[in-house]
Amino acid sequence: MASSSVAAHSPIPEPKKFAPGPILLLGAPGVGKGTKAKELVSAWGIPQISTGDLLRANVGGGTPLGKQARAIMDRGELVSDDLVNQMVAERLKEPDTSAGYILDGFPRTLGQADWLDQHLGATPGSLPVIAVSIQVSYNQLLRRITGRRICPVCKSSYNIYLQPPKVDELCDLDGTPLTRRSDDTEEVFEERMRAYNSLTAPVVEHYRALGRFEQVNGEQPVSAVTAEVMQAVLRLRS
Ligand code: AP5
């Protein structure tokens, strides 16, 4: 279904009038969690908390955490629960999370899910978490990952197969040469998928069993997937 018709039947609440609470975007590497999270940010004015982005910022900044995480991320494995939980705990103290936030790429293990469930249970006034899982086939994920290019200046994301820039390998917005994430090779993608299937797929089942859970088809245009995610959030919060 086209995004415009989905949105037309059920208007998206305006920012500041809707407090979505904690939203989890779940799904395999390249499923589009970050792309959809950014759309929810602009619709509802709540922050996107991507553990991948936070870890990459630490790697880029050469912090002690970044130094520990770098090789693990380059292999496509998961950083330890303790490090990631601590990083998320710090981020959730920021006042911009009071009306809600989108967790993108967290939790990724049952240990992280237990930590989050306990953390929210101990946070006065917190709404229960809701989870939306995005589904995309393996071959499409591989194209999305190996085709992804990023502007190092403005962080715009492109895909040479699916959403190419107007001029090859240059950012449409500022003309900067695009770069590729070091873990976006086919070999590392396969390791990331192994980690997803063994450690993160059980997290999806954990939230499905809790009941505040919906699944959407991520193999549609970005606007259509975004509209489905938003409608799922509205249903789960109604
Ligand atoms: P992270 O950065 O979280 O990577 P990921 O989960 O593998 O997800 P991606 O960022 O690759 O993909 P995405 O689903 O956000 O897709 P996107 O929107 O970019 O984690 C990286 C590493 O950090 C991990 O491997 C691990 O080592 C570590 N880490 C992170 N969190 C951790 C945690 N909690 N615990 C332990 N370790 C952790 O889209 C992908 C591409 O597809 C783009 O090119 C985009 O343009 C395109 N696209 C998106 N949607 C569509 C669409 N609908 N149609 C066509 N193209 C689309």
pLDDT in tens, 176-199: 999 999 999 999 999 999 999 999
Which residues are the active-site residues?
33, 108, 148, 181, 192
The pocket around ligand 1, CB under 6 angstroms, is made up of 27, 29-35, 50-52, 55, 72-73, 76-79, 84, 105-106, 108, 112, 144, 148, 157, 159, 162-163, 183, 192, 218, 221-222, 225
The neighbour count for residue 206, using CB atoms within 10 Å, is 17
- Cα(92) to centroid(ligand 1), Å: 21
Atom of ligand 1 nearest to the CA of 221: 53
In 3D space, the residue among 44, 38, 47 whose CA is nearest the CA of residue 94 turns out to be 47
**Amino acid occupying residue 58:** N
- Predicted structure pTM score: 0.91
In 3D space, the residue among 36, 44, 39 whose CA is nearest the CA of residue 15 turns out to be 44
Give SS3 for 150. Answer: strand
- Cα(125) to centroid(ligand 1), Å: 30
Q: What is the C-alpha to C-alpha distance for residues 23 and 7, in angstroms, rounded to an integer? A: 19
Contact call for residues 221 and 140 (beta carbons, < 8 A): no
pLDDT in tens, 85-122: 999 999 999 999 999 999 999 999 999 999 999 999 99
Torsion of CA 218, 235, 204, 191, to 10 degrees: 30
Would you state the pLDDT for residue 173? 97
Atom of ligand 1 nearest to the CA of 219: 53
Q: What is the C-alpha to C-alpha distance for residues 3 and 227, in angstroms, rounded to an integer? A: 5
Would you state the pLDDT for residue 18? 79
Q: What is the C-alpha to C-alpha distance for residues 201 and 193, in angstroms, rounded to an integer? A: 10
Q: Is the dihedral of CA 125, 80, 152, 191 positive or negative?
A: negative
235 to 28, 159, 217: CA distances (angstroms): 23, 31, 16
Would you state the pLDDT for residue 16? 56
Place of tokens 């870890």: 55
pLDDT in tens, 200-228: 999 999 999 999 999 999 999 999 999 99
| Residue to substitute in 144, 187, 225 for testing ligand 1 pocket (most ligand atoms within 8 angstroms of CB) | 144
Mean pLDDT of 167-171: 97
For ligand 1, atom 32, the nearest C-alpha belongs to 51
